[in-house]
Amino acid sequence: MIYKGKTVFTILAGLTLILVAVNILLSLGNESLRVDVSQRQQFIAQSMQLEGLHREIVTALASIAVRNNDEQLKSLLASQGINLGANPGPAGKAK
């Protein structure tokens, strides 16, 4: 009977060690994922800070392109998806 108890406790101790090892591996994997997510969040935050500056640069380039009728600058802006078409006239009355 004592030998059965020792065997059971030995098996439980072995399982405990295996579970501890699995827990450590999962913790390390989670830590690497946390670092990756943190880096992505930092990139997004920095991109949002620069958005206003990018808009100002595009607005300045567009106004220069229209004022100087610079076809190269217009084509560059068009290649980036910025349309410099004529400004729409005032809207008519709603019916």
Instruction: Give the C-alpha separation, 61 to 67, whole Å.
Output: 10
Contact 77, 61 (CB under 8 A): yes
**pLDDT confidence of 28, banded at 50, 70, 90?**
very high
User: Quick check: is 62 in a domain?
Assistant: yes
User: Quick check: is 94 in a domain?
Assistant: no
Mean pLDDT in residue range 44-72: 91
pLDDT value, residue 87: 47
Mean pLDDT in residue range 14-37: 95
User: Quick check: is 26 in a domain?
Assistant: yes
Separation in Å, CA 48 to CA 32, 37, 54: 25, 17, 10
Q: State both tokens at 23.
A: 């827990």
For the chain, how many structural domains are there in total? Answer: 1
pLDDT value, residue 94: 42
Contact 84, 58 (CB under 8 A): no
pTM across the whole model: 0.49
Q: Look up tokens 């300045």; give the residue.
A: 60
Q: What is the pLDDT of residues 56-68, one digit of tens each?
A: 999 999 999 999 9
